[in-house]
Structure formats: structure tokens, C-alpha cells
Structure 1
Amino acid sequence: MTSVPFVKSADQAEIYYEAHGSGEPLVLLSGQANTHHWWDRVRADFEAEHQVIVLDYLGTGESDKPADAEYSVRRFATDVISVLDELGIARAHVYGTSMGGKVAQWLAIDYPDRVGALALGCTSVGGVHGLKAAPEITRALAQPSVEAAREALIDLMYSPEWVREHPGPYGTLGGRMPSHARRAHLRASNGHDSWAVLDQVTAPTLVLHGTDDRFSPVDNAVILANRIPGAEVHYLEGARHAYFEEQREEASGAVLDFLAAHPID
């Protein structure tokens, strides 16, 4: 690890980040209400060839958790730029999964000169064009029993076979955060809608999705790719939302090959 500091965002909130490894910079962006530990199982796959940057979004982990701040995926993208500025990085590859894929879209839209290649995993264009989880899934996650809701989330993330072989702990189930921040993250993710401007993305783009993803239905992949000029799609057969862990070798390999084919100028 080369650094473990904080950076001030535009509104002076402290954002926690870490940088690991060396090589072309790569930002890894986690899912909603999750910290940088989302990537713990797979981060090493990228460190051999890249300087890997991870961060805690506003409201999560070690970052500030103000009640009166703006929480949006577009704002989270500006916080990533603050981190890159602090590290003196002019341009970085970006790989975002779930809500992190929404943040990554806005990075590519709002800051095209700062993004090398773009990888978008298990994510969506949002708005009326994005496909949402079925109502029964939403109800299962919102049930009063914390343990039952956790088991429902695990089932959305991983196949039962993988869970039996990998009993946890899991870094993808959300971190401890105040209720106001958790609600704000939900609003931020649900408020994402990039459909109208995705055709402005100029970064080479790879879209990844597990074919058995019920959290973000798999057809989101082709909807997303059809809006981004030249985007490619890689499906992970039989994988659920956390495809990047359950099918780690294939998923990390696909992203690494894509980044290698599109080096930063």
C-alpha cells in the first residue's frame, strides 16, 4: 500500500482512499452503501499490473457522513476526481460494479479526459429504461428481520454452491453507516439516470454481467451497451450479482485483457 490518506471534497468533506500496486492507474468503485472492502477478495488480481485506487464513498467507511450534504452518484464521481487530483493522476482506467458502475458512467460523461478504459459491471442506465429487481426481492431486503434480510442479500449476491464453499465474511453486504447515510445512498442509486447522455461516452467500454443476476436483471447489460458507442459485453454464465468474486478468474481476466488492449495514452 502506497498511501492511506484522506482528501477534501469540493464541499470539504473528508473522503478516505487507498492506493495499492503500481502501473497504469485503475479506480475500483464499489456498490451502494459499501466501502472499499467490497474489492478485498479480488483487488490483488489488478495490483500486479496497475496502481489500484479504492475509496469509501461519502457516508461510508472512514469517510465523513454528514446529514446535510449532497448524496448522488454524480457527486460521488466528483469525489473520485478529487482523489485522482490528490494523487497527481491525470487519467485512470475505471471499473465500477453495481452502484459503482453508475458512478463510473458519470465519470466518463462528465470527465472524459480523465478516464482511460471503462468497465461497467452488474449495473444499469437507471431511470425508466433501466430494469429493476422484482418487487418480491425489494420486499425481502426490506423485511424487519436483519438476519433474514442478510440471508436474502447473500442469495442475490452468490449461488448457494459458492456460499457453501466460501462461508464468509463477505465484503459486499454493506458497511456500518448511520441511517441517514444509508437512506441517502439508496436515493442516490435510485436517482441515477444516464440514458440521455450515454452516447457522449468516448472511453472504450466493457460491460460485464452475470446471467443469473436478479438484483440487476441481466438485460441491463445490453441496454447499457447499446447506448455507449462501441461498447462490448461479457456475460458470466450462471453468476449472480457478485460475479466478480464467484467467477473471479474469468471476470478479472476479462477486465485485465480489456485494459491491456486500451492502454492510457
Structure 2
Amino acid sequence: MPRADLGAVDLYYEVHGEGQPLILIMGLGGNADWWGDGFVRRLAAKRQVIAFDNRGAARTALRGDEHFTLAEMAGDVVGLMRHLDIAVADVFGVSMGGMIAQEVALNHPGHVRKLILGCTTCGGKEQTPPTAEAASMLVEQAGAAQGQMQNHLRLLFPDAFIAANLPLLENSFRALMRHPMPRDNYLRQLHAIKTWPGTYSRLPSITHETLVLHGTDDILIPVENGRTLHRRLPNSTLCEYSGAGHGFTLQAASDVLRDVESFLDA
């Protein structure tokens, strides 16, 4: 398995396709598999796509048991770029990955060509919090065991979508659990999110072309967060997916791929 020794972490990564690099940054508890094979194949048809397991996730080995920050996780992204001899890349982060992507753009702006922020938030007191039910389920997800499948699906998708696609979603969940995340590391990632100061005051300094993507029925990171990002980012475009939840990249995959490819190719 390809790995990058970044000191604090031994980072697992995958490279697909050729051309302009696009780095994918997954969210809390997820890993490179969570983007979905079909989603990655479609993107990699026209560009080089790099996906990886975040610090503490799945196949990435975390050295030590200390807490870490989202800014340090952004440093991992840049460290991976150096390992792969990539000077500049497009960066696409979802959920926690979108928070990390913001830190990459703010702290390492010269390494970013275009920025894509999916179902994410600026953090801090300016963010719109999750529903109480979603916040409770998020903590209960620690470890993401098979018995928590129902919570996992309800965090990502509206009830009607789950009911109409339950066998497919159950099979997908089992596939994603091939490389589970240790409970302690899940809690470390969650701690990194909770202690993140946020970017609200810094967002206007991100001048990269930015595409903000959000499902209108997201209960974990409500859509108003995407609208806040769009208002604060001076060179941004907002795409909303009606009726889609936090897992909008699966629920509205065709529309998302169309919008992402159009943005990157422009």
C-alpha cells in the first residue's frame, strides 16, 4: 500500500488517473474508500485524483496518542503533496474535510489552484449547529460499528431516501466498514473539530475560485452553513441540492459530478 511518512503520521494514499491533480479530503471517521469507486473513477477520467486516509483514520498510522488540530491535518495534505512532488492542486473537502481544505487554502495558499467545499462550515460561533438529534448521533457513532448502521444512515440521508434505497445503502455501509476507524482516533478527530476556532473572520482572504456544495436537507451541517461560506468567500459559487442530506455526493452524485467537473474545467 502506498504510504507517505510525514513524521507524526504514516499516511495511506491512492492515486488515480493523470493530469491536473485533485486532492480529495474526507470527513470525520471516513477514509479514502468513502468517496466511492464510481465517483473517483469519473473524476479520474480527466485528471489525477489523490485520495487518502486522514490522520487517525483506517490505514493511516498515527504515531503517539496526543490530540491534534485541523491545522495539523491541513499540514498533512501539504506534506502529501510534497511527497508526490505536486506543487499546486485543486482541493475538494467534504464535512471535516472541508474544514481542513479551508485551512489548506488559508495557511498554504500557493499550493491551491481551485477550492471545493462540500457540506461544511466555517466553525466558531458564526456556524449554524446541527440538530440536537444529529449532534447526539454523531457522538454515538464513535467507532462506527455495524450496530450503528441506522444512526450512520440517518446522519447522512433523509428518511425518505433511506426507505427507498435501504438495500443499496446497507451494502454500501458494509463495504465502507472494511477499514474501520479506532474509537479513540474517532474521538481525537471529533476533538479537533470541537476545538477548531473556525475561519469566519479569515474567509474573505481566500481569493481562490471556490465552489460551495450543500444539500438542503442536511441535519448534521445545515445548509445555512454553505450559504454563510458563500457570502464570506469573495470568489465563490454556491450549488444547492434540493432534498439531499449530508451524504449529497452519493444521493445527488450525477449532479455533483457535473458541477464539479464544470467548475474544474472552466
1:145-203 alpha-carbon deviations (Å, 9 max, x no partner): 96664302202212222335544223667952333211110011222311121111121
- After superposing the two structures, state which structure 1 stretch, 136-145 or 80-89, moved more: 136-145
Q: TM-score, normalised by structure 2?
A: 0.89
The counterpart of 1:38, out of the listed 20, 34, 41, is 34
Q: Is the 8 A contact 1:120 1:208 kept in 2?
A: yes
| 1:120 counterpart residue number | 117
Q: Percent identity?
A: 30
The counterpart of 1:256, out of the listed 254, 261, 264, is 261
Relative to structure 1, the CA distance from residue 185 to residue 62 in structure 2 (aligned partners, 3 Å threshold; closer, same or farther) is: same
**Residues 157-236 of structure 1 correspond to what in structure 2 (within 5 A)?**
157-158=156-157, 159-160=161-162, 161-170=164-173, 176-192=180-196, 193-236=198-241
| 2:53 counterpart residue number | 56
Question: In structure 2, how many angstroms separate the alpha carbons of the residues matched to 1:258 and 1:174?
Answer: 32
Q: CA RMSD in A?
A: 2.1
Relative to structure 1, the CA distance from residue 56 to residue 163 in structure 2 (aligned partners, 3 Å threshold; closer, same or farther) is: same
Q: For residue 137 of structure 2, what is the amino acid of its counterpart?
A: A
| 1:75 counterpart residue number | 72
Q: Is the 8 A contact 2:90 2:114 kept in 1?
A: yes
The count of aligned residue pairs is 257
Relative to structure 1, the CA distance from residue 219 to residue 172 in structure 2 (aligned partners, 3 Å threshold; closer, same or farther) is: farther
1:214-251 alpha-carbon deviations (Å, 9 max, x no partner): 11101111111111112110001111111111111100
| 1:5 counterpart residue number | 2
Question: In structure 1, how many angstroms separate the alpha carbons of the residues matched to 2:138 and 2:107?
Answer: 32
| SS of alignment partner, residue 53 of structure 1 | strand
Cα displacement (A) at 1:136: 2.1
- Unpaired stretches in structure 2, ≥5 consecutive residues: none
Question: In structure 2, how many angstroms separate the alpha carbons of the residues matched to 1:156 and 1:175?
Answer: 20
Q: TM-score, normalised by structure 1?
A: 0.90
Question: In structure 2, how many angstroms separate the alpha carbons of the residues matched to 1:97 and 1:185?
Answer: 14
